[in-house]
Amino acid sequence: MAKLRAGLIGCGGIANAHARSALATGRMDLVAFCDVEKSRADQFNADYAGGSGKAFVSFDDMFDAVKLDMVYICLPPFAHTNEVEVAADHGVHILIEKPIAINMETANRMVAAVERTGIKAQVGFLSRFGDAASKLRWMIQGGKAGAPGLFIGWFMCNSLHSPWWRDKSKSGGQIVEQIVHTFDLTRYFLGEPVSVSCYHNNVFHADVENFTSEDVSATSILFQNGAVATVAGTDGAIPGQWINAYKVITQGITADFQDANNATLHFTSQPWEKQTSIRSNKDLFLAETVDLLDAIEGDREPMVPIIEGARTLELVLAASRSGEIGAPVKIG
């Protein structure tokens, strides 16, 4: 099969990881780069296309000028506008970073455009691709793990991040921008949420200029099936470490995740004690791109279709809102 022609919107930090994965597949060429700062698009063109691609400051111009098969959307949360709709109208498949937006109106327009045009759109919830996470999900789905009942997760880092990240009106705050990974896993394992209750605050960075994101949060979630989750997060923990760890308790398994690739599963419904360890160093960025390419080739849904990005966004927006109003928020 001929190599696909891929573009990139938002040539910043995470776009590098996707560009490297794109080339590592050997199944696509990067041919167009878009960034509001032209020099960044030019640099990506030099780094990932040997200068043979094209650089743009407007994605409208990019889609009009270059025939693309797929596009990576790596924009900061506040910068999402109608790029998914324009890509979809050009028949271009999408890999979009999380969170897909910072309001449901934009997210719902994205979902509608993908459904209307039939393009494939994968959301960058890379933890879902982890070997340990996907194994437990497979066991839950197949009835091998018993009913899921409890998720306990925490996301901890300590970074000043970029100016847009610190500004809650642009990033949505730490829950929406970052802990969204952990919240997404609650849905992956436990199903659909019905209610969320959250406390959050800016404890460590109140004196840092323009740092309006929360940096501590504690959230409880109730799910349709009666399961419950707690998710704690902070941007005040150990510098240089980005910890996204969790435990999932089902009727038959207590799963202790160090990360999405690595977990110890304790089998708890046996009369004897039994456990197994899953250890992997699978490249999750590569995995989400390969899955999208397979979905395009096989004309099937990608593993994390855009509707999942919208549903998890609804959950984190509800958590953030709950913390603001000091009361539980219903979902759905």
Ligand X SMILES: NC(=O)c1ccc[n+]([C@@H]2O[C@H](COP(=O)([O-])OP(=O)(O)OC[C@H]3O[C@@H](n4cnc5c(N)ncnc54)[C@H](O)[C@@H]3O)[C@@H](O)[C@H]2O)c1
Contacts with ligand X by CB under 6 A lie at: 9-15, 34-37, 40, 74-77, 79, 97-98, 124, 126, 162, 177
Q: How far is the CB of 126 from ligand X (least distance, A)?
A: 5
Cα angle 110-73-317, degrees, rounded to a multiple of 5: 55
Q: How far is the CB of 97 from ligand X (least distance, A)?
A: 4
Using alpha carbons, select from 118, 157, 329, 124 the residue that is nearest to residue 235. Answer: 157
Q: How far is the CB of 144 from ligand X (least distance, A)?
A: 29
Nearer to ligand X, 79 or 245 (CB): 79
For residue 222, what are the contacts with CB-CB under 8 A and spacing of at least 6? 193, 194, 195, 196, 228
Nearer to ligand X, 109 or 266 (CB): 109
Q: How far is the CB of 198 from ligand X (least distance, A)?
A: 19
Note whether 61 and 33 are within 8 A (CB).
no
Rounded Cα distance, 83 and 110, in Å: 9
Nearer to ligand X, 107 or 140 (CB): 107
Rounded Cα distance, 140 and 252, in Å: 10
Q: How far is the CB of 269 from ligand X (least distance, A)?
A: 35
Q: How far is the CB of 33 from ligand X (least distance, A)?
A: 10
Rounded Cα distance, 244 and 258, in Å: 8
Nearer to ligand X, 8 or 249 (CB): 8
Kindly write down the DSSP assignment for every residue of 40-54, as one continuous string: HHHHHHHHHHTT-SE
Q: How far is the CB of 53 from ligand X (least distance, A)?
A: 15
Nearer to ligand X, 43 or 280 (CB): 43
Nearer to ligand X, 250 or 262 (CB): 262
Rounded Cα distance, 243 and 221, in Å: 21
Give, to the nearest 10 degrees, the angle between helix 284-298 and helix 13-24.
60
Nearer to ligand X, 244 or 250 (CB): 244
**What one-letter code names the amino acid at 148?**
P
